[in-house]
Amino acid sequence: MIQSVGDTLARGTDPQESQDAAAAVGVRLSTLKVAVLELVALKKIAGSVGNQRYKKWQPLYGWPRAAEDTPRKRMGELASMGFLRVTRMVKGPNGKREAEYEITQYGRDYLKSVTG
């Protein structure tokens, strides 16, 4: 879980000046990550389902084009940053276990700040 906004831009081993600067700058997610946040904000979603829905809805919402498995990968990154959380492990279409994600309050607040 994120301790502060600056944690996403500086490592704990970085000098304090770098950590302070990172906290001052704040977080700026890529357009693709914001799109994935929007997708997960609609409903809890597993990675493989997220890939399918992203591909289907990308033209409708004007989201950036992405490789087939990219949304799932971004979900994992967003979870490690505290924007999403893993709710449970589910069986994917390939028979392997995969994470199901939901948006956190931190993620909702960020999404609101960039989308209005």
Residues 42-94 have pLDDT tens digits of: 999 999 999 999 999 999 999 999 999 999 999 999 999 999 999 999 999 98
Domain ranges, ordered by start, for the chain: 29-115
pLDDT at 28 over 70: yes
Closest CA to 45 of 107, 103, 115, 109: 103
29-115 has CATH 1.10.10.10 classification: yes
CA distance 87 to 44: 8
